[in-house]
Structure 1
Amino acid sequence: MMAVAGAEAPALNAYDVQVHECSIRAATPGDLDGARAVMLDTVYRDFGTGYVPRWHGDIIDLAGAYLASPRHTLLVALDGSDGEVAATAALDSRGPAHPPNPRPLARRYPSGETAQLRRVYVRPGHRRRGLARRLVGELLAFAAADGGYRSVYLHTDPGIPGAEAFWRSLGKAVWDEREEPGGSGVVHFEVPFA
């Protein structure tokens, strides 16, 4: 909203959103509850699956999954107005497992050599401001600095509004399970380092 000289700024109505700048940093133990809340809100609201232990176990043990290894990271974006976690993004060295993923993907993206992007979630009030893109950029820089990763992989549910288009803008689809009889509908991507 732009102010005009000599005029009062219009009052915000119920449809206006107050925009606050977010800062991004590596998560600390004190950030984990806020990060977990963003993640659980996303799997319940956006995915519609709720918490499924075999898919979302890392959400419960964020410290073990992302803080314990120097090759893993969890990033948080903190709202500048209240310090609350507005978004998350994580990276680990586990490639896609078979099953449930197709065997050729597990071979192409082996654990230890593959940086897998995970949990890139943004609260609804902070979406469409470039926050996810900034988080992914930080993850890619982390993967490049590691020196041991040869590829960056992720998978997404194309049923989530905007997810497929976002990842196509950053990388290349390498496997689309919607094209397979009985496939899960997941789309798998490789994202270049920089």
Structure 2
Amino acid sequence: MQVLEYRIRTAGAAHLDQARAVMLDTVHRDFGTGYVPRWHADIVDPESFYLTPPRHTLLVAVDETDGTVAATAALDARGPAHPPNPRWLAERYPSGTTAQLRRVYVRPEHRRRGLARRLVDGLLDFARTDGGYRAAYLHAYPHSPGAMGLWRTLGEVVCDEREELPDGGSGVVHFEIPLTPLLK
């Protein structure tokens, strides 16, 4: 069995096409939505969403054997919007002081190797270094392979729309991830 090695790094212009492909493949395959402009504009233009703003970042896991991007993870200072999210959630995690984790996606052939956790650790380090973030937030789709297990080990569920909203909302689960390092 070949042992794969990965390097976690801040994405640069040279990584954007491959990172975009990882993200688009994920929304097609795992979410079944395909590209939806109001939800996925950052995927088409990751440079202006994640590389240009100083408090945002896009990390990639690069497969050292062939130089390809195997996984992505992004962070920005935009809190969850209302609507579609509950008003109280948008108020609890306001833009500017909330580090929202986004696009933590791993290609299927690279899953179960700890890449998502390593990428999230990098995002949280970025948020801590920034110093202006009070909370780290994300939402996850329960049917996304491996997502719920990972997020439950890293954070706390603050709203499960399937259980807490009368109509089930959009079916997502909202998490807060501690910004203080966890003892390992």
Please report the TM-score for the alignment, with normalisation by the length of structure 2: 0.95
Runs of 4+ in structure 1 deviating by more than 3 angstroms, as ranges, are: none
Letter aligned with residue 5 of structure 2? E
CA distance in 1, matches of 2:36, 2:148: 22
Calculate the aligned-residue CA RMSD, in Å. Answer: 0.8
User: 2:155 aligns to what?
Assistant: 171
Max radius of gyration: which structure?
1
CA distance in 1, matches of 2:11, 2:49: 12
Deviation, structure 1 residue 96: 0.2
CA distance in 2, matches of 1:20, 1:164: 25
CA distance in 2, matches of 1:88, 1:58: 13
CA distance in 2, matches of 1:26, 1:98: 30
Unaligned runs of 5+ in 2: none
CA distance in 1, matches of 2:47, 2:3: 30
CA distance in 2, matches of 1:28, 1:93: 19
1:192 is aligned, of 174, 178, 182, to 178
Deviation, structure 1 residue 19: 3.3
Aligned-partner SS, 1:96: coil
User: 2:166 aligns to what?
Assistant: 181
1:162 is aligned, of 141, 146, 153, to 146
Unaligned runs of 5+ in 1: 2-17
- The percent of aligned pairs where both chains have the same amino acid is 72
In the alignment, is residue 92 of structure 1 matched against residue 76 of structure 2?
Answer: yes
Matched residue pairs, number? 178
CA distance in 2, matches of 1:70, 1:175: 29
2:94 is aligned, of 104, 110, 121, to 110
CA distance in 2, matches of 1:62, 1:153: 19
Aligned-partner SS, 1:86: strand
Deviation, structure 1 residue 141: 0.4
Aligned-partner SS, 1:98: coil
Residue pairs, 1:1-194, within 5 angstroms = 1=1, 18-179=2-163, 180-182=165-167, 183-193=169-179, 194=181
